[in-house]
Structure 1
Amino acid sequence: MDSDDLAYQRSNVNFAVWLQRLLRNSPEALAVQLAARHCPGRPVTASRLANGAFNVCFRVNFENGDQAIVRFTAFGRIIARNEKTEDEVATMEFVGQHTTIPVPKVFGYGKSVPGPYIVMSYVEGHILSGYLKDPTHEGGNTLRPNISLQALCKAYHAMADVMLELSKVEFPFIGAIGKHESGNWTVSKGPLTLNMNRIAQFSNVPHKVFQRQRFSNAADYFEELANHHLHHLEYQRNDAVVDALDCQKKYIARCLFRKVSREISSEHCNGPFRLYCDDLNPGNVLIDPSKITVAGVIDWEFSYAAPAEFTYAAPWWLLLERPESWEDDLNEFMERYLPRFHTFLDVLRDCETEKIKSGSLTESQRLSITMEQSLDNGLFWICLASRHSAMFDEIYWNIVDPKFFGPLTSIEDRMVLLSTEERANMDTFVEKKLVQKQQATLDVHNSAKELFDL
């Protein structure tokens, strides 16, 4: 489902106004001041780095030659900025302590006039996606078509190493990780996910509708993710439906996906749950360009203890393109994806074998077996449909619906599968969405100050 154009414009305006105010008020001096507050040594200069998707960063140089990053969480790009910052700081500390993944050291974090910030160590390296992407392609990342197999395997090996390290960490609950005042690591609240942020930002879904408690089993969590899709359709006023039939199909798809969501996790429903980052991809991995080895992994927002199925499903980023950029014809996408997937599986198996020989992985911790099955049994698509609202309808009707309900002969065949309450509410729901389509307005769920303080 496309984003709400009015919500998209408002998000861009909020970010532009915030950025202008930041840049007008000596942000380099502020970055030096914050670095001095949290870091040893004497900072002397700061310079702005290229914008990321969710943050604005400054590199601070110290008198002794050290460097640090001061990163401000961008207003207009992140809905719950304070929560996002606190979760990310906790994740980086945990990953640094409990895995071999190199991550920036957090010197400190807090709130400043522009909003929440993090001061962390600077990691030298080249972005892995830059090594992989097609430089002639405009408008986003796509894999270089003529990349050599040797180069691709080296890059995939770097990513496989990170994924295997993350997969070894286990938790008894689903949610954001944090350190208790006792010093023990725990899961005390629900996760802040990439899709929650996306539909709040671009579809005007109010942040308050998301359940924020931790989850003790995957069935409850998958049902909550299915509810996110219903919230998306309900609260997005513009660009949500084409006509009454389109609205009916989208309503039915979301109701039926909620119906099957509790069946997605069977073997691993009660855990243990694995550390997972919604946005982990080659764009977040820094490499030593001479050896194509991992120098650091950055940008840990939207990381949480998640259902094991997310870890076991094939990665979406093998072609670099984000799911919302894939062609609507999923068969065409698979023609491009499958050759790279088989290459990645070979690399993953080799990486697993290396780790097993070194004693850092056990046979039972291999991911390649379940990951290979995830395309055949549909887990890859179901996990994508759960986590990505933008591609939900294409994935549901092409993959999920026939898997659970058989061939589709008519939309009436699916209406009878709805609950009595869902059928009773459908006509009113459709009428409401068509009225919204005509009104072309945007609801205001929070004031600008409330949004700024989230």
Structure 2
Amino acid sequence: MSEQEPPLDAKRVDLRSREYGMFTDEEVDKLQDKIAFDSVNEKLQDPQVRAEIVRLVKKYHGGKGGTWHTARRGSYNGVFVVKFDEPGSYGMMRIPLPRYSLALREEKLRAEVAIMRYVEANTTIPVSHVYHMGMAEQNPTGLGPFIIMDYFPDTINLSDLLKDPAVPYDHDTLHLDMPEENLENLYRQMANIVLQLDQFSMPESGSLCHSDGEYTVSSRMLPQTLIDVITCGGCPESVLGPPNRVLNTSHEVYQYYADLHMAQFIFQRNDAVESEDDARDKYMARHLFRRAAYMNLLPFPSYTGRRDHITPTPETFKLICDDLTPSNVLVDPKTGDVVAVVDWEFAWFGPRSMASDPPWWLLLQKPQYWREDIPGGLEDWAARYPKYLDIFLRALEKEEQKLSAGPSTGVPSLGADLEGHEVPEPGPVAEWLDKLRIQDENVAFKCPKEPPLSARMRRNWEDGSFWINYATRRSYGFDPVYWKYIDERLFGQNPNGGYERRAGSMTTEARELMEMVVMDKMEEMNGERKVVEWFTDEARAHLARVLGYGQL
């Protein structure tokens, strides 16, 4: 089959745009909201349920008095706040909203509590203390699995200090005119947090578990993408692998993600494609990305042959926090102290390359959503990012110098001297610094010496690993990033972008499979907008006819 490019002036009848990826399925989203919020709101109308929440929070928190204060909700969790008699003392019950199965909610909650307790015990990062965790059968309110924690009412998010006040709240964007000195001071707090978390490693990739006083990775990874394909795309949980599956190599992790991207495309019925050409583009991007994953080319074709990327055998994995952003860092508006880092639900141990990526949130807005109302927003994000990466890395380098010089006193306050390099007097935290330099006793091998985190972050940006890792981990940002920053890097020139040039390298069987999927997507696009309920065997067979092989 010919690989000849179509004429540059060829007009396309079908609509397609690679500026955006798949949109979330509105029908799934509406149904999820109704199930999650209506059921919880109905229960909260009952005074006896609210009284039971107060009783449970008081029982485990230990505060005096205790009255119902408020209920709040986010995308995935509900929070029910109790006010105690002591001034400024609050506790809360936090539940995962019923947007997916009870079994998955309990699995995710156990993993989140394990990582919170692990971070609290081994770092100076302030974490909301977990007083109690209970499964659904232990919650007399009928609200499902729950955590009892502290609540911090008189705080602001660190993102509030970083964002442009002229931009609407739901489109947080960095204040680009902020003086660099001020910005570096704000970045410095996040730099300290990510540096402390970089000390952790585990011998498998997955979620942390806590049993009999030991922390191990013995359950599957639960990244944000896995939850998003369920709650935003309607992907059935039954095809996403068993809960006890841990992975032993980075290659397996990239392969799992590649299969997950294809599963999302196969199962999302609504708002997935705009035309036949658009469907071919989206299929081809996932097909090629999956091919690269199974050829062990990710995150970079020469990755495994470069000395600075060599990993030990057996491999070790770093802590990855998908939702660690300034929006989840609570700050005292009067002192500038970090009060608590919250929302650890998407924390898992994964490939060292992913953990070495510089933060996407330096501009607050995700790359694919940057100036989404105009063409070229992604390129504008990429052009602006290096300036802010340099500022962040300066802050990170200063925190690295402090850590290498001796014990740390914790996350710095906004009022701390940014330029000073004096090392505080040794205190209780010195013990954990020593422990972090040594692997846990049940790990029989040592982590290799590696470049500082700041150097690894700079390298990942410069060699393009950042974009491959970003596309790997972001289901709804995959397509524009793939076509702009990954396709030619992996598979050579493709001046016009899109599937046409790449289709020439497909076998006849692969091309027929693509056309089968494209026809499926067109029938869905032109058919009734609805949410499809899948039986387990039916769902697995539907995915298997496309994947043929894989981990899901």
SS in structure 2 at match of 1:115:
coil
1:1-400 paired onto structure 2 within 5 Å? 1-26=22-47, 28-48=50-70, 50-65=72-87, 66-76=89-99, 80-110=104-134, 111=136, 112=139, 113-123=142-152, 125-138=155-168, 139-181=170-212, 183-212=213-242, 213-261=245-293, 262-264=296-298, 266=304, 267-268=310-311, 271-326=315-370, 327=372, 329=376, 330-358=378-406, 360=433, 364=450, 366-400=452-486
Deviation, structure 1 residue 383 = 0.8
Partner of 2:445: none
Deviation, structure 1 residue 166 = 0.7
* Matches of 1:77 and 1:43, distance apart in 2: 35
> Which whole-Å deviations, capped at 9, do the CAs of 1:427-446 have from their partners, x for residues lacking one?
21111111111113320238
Deviation, structure 1 residue 135 = 2.7
Amino acid at match of 2:384: R
SS in structure 1 at match of 2:23:
coil
Q: Is the 8 A contact 2:32 2:231 kept in 1?
A: yes
Partner of 1:422: 510
Displaced runs of 4 or more, over 6 A = none
Gapped regions of structure 2 (runs ≥ 5): 1-21, 305-309, 408-432, 438-448, 537-552
Deviation, structure 1 residue 416 = 3.7
Q: Is the 8 A contact 1:277 1:303 kept in 2?
A: yes
> Which whole-Å deviations, capped at 9, do the CAs of 1:185-243 have from their partners, x for residues lacking one?
11111111111111111110111211241100010110110111101110011111122
* Matches of 1:333 and 1:64, distance apart in 2: 47
* Matches of 1:158 and 1:446, distance apart in 2: 47
* Matches of 1:234 and 1:279, distance apart in 2: 26
Distance 1:414-1:17 versus aligned 2 partners, 3 A rule: same
Task: Quote the sequence identity (%).
Answer: 30
Distance 1:430-1:364 versus aligned 2 partners, 3 A rule: closer
Q: Is the 8 A contact 1:381 1:395 kept in 2?
A: yes
Deviation, structure 1 residue 163 = 0.3
SS in structure 2 at match of 1:48:
strand
Amino acid at match of 1:443: V
> Which whole-Å deviations, capped at 9, do the CAs of 1:241-271 have from their partners, x for residues lacking one?
1222211121111011011123225323853
* Matches of 2:509 and 2:247, distance apart in 1: 26
Distance 1:21-1:240 versus aligned 2 partners, 3 A rule: same
* Matches of 2:86 and 2:363, distance apart in 1: 41
Q: Is the 8 A contact 1:271 1:308 kept in 2?
A: no
* Matches of 1:268 and 1:29, distance apart in 2: 53
* Matches of 2:211 and 2:227, distance apart in 1: 25
* Matches of 1:244 and 1:408, distance apart in 2: 20
Partner of 2:425: none
> Which whole-Å deviations, capped at 9, do the CAs of 1:48-79 have from their partners, x for residues lacking one?
15433322223323345543222122223898
Deviation, structure 1 residue 291 = 4.5
* Matches of 1:13 and 1:140, distance apart in 2: 24
The higher-RCO structure (CA 8 Å, 6+ apart) is 2
Partner of 2:531: 442
* Matches of 2:33 and 2:98, distance apart in 1: 10
Partner of 1:403: 489
> Which whole-Å deviations, capped at 9, do the CAs of 1:304-340 have from their partners, x for residues lacking one?
1111112111111111113452346321112332221
Structure with greater helix share of residues: 1
Amino acid at match of 1:107: Y
* Matches of 1:19 and 1:155, distance apart in 2: 37
Distance 1:294-1:18 versus aligned 2 partners, 3 A rule: same
SS in structure 2 at match of 1:70:
strand
Q: Is the 8 A contact 1:14 1:76 kept in 2?
A: yes
* Matches of 1:446 and 1:21, distance apart in 2: 29
* Matches of 1:300 and 1:101, distance apart in 2: 12
SS in structure 1 at match of 2:132:
strand
Greater C-alpha Rg? 2
Partner of 1:451: none
* Matches of 2:52 and 2:179, distance apart in 1: 45
Distance 1:156-1:49 versus aligned 2 partners, 3 A rule: farther
Deviation, structure 1 residue 92 = 0.6
Deviation, structure 1 residue 387 = 0.7
Amino acid at match of 2:396: L
TM-score by length of 1: 0.91
Deviation, structure 1 residue 352 = 1.0
Amino acid at match of 1:116: P
Partner of 2:10: none
Q: Is the 8 A contact 1:252 1:418 kept in 2?
A: no
Amino acid at match of 1:423: R
SS in structure 1 at match of 2:344:
coil
* Matches of 2:501 and 2:369, distance apart in 1: 31
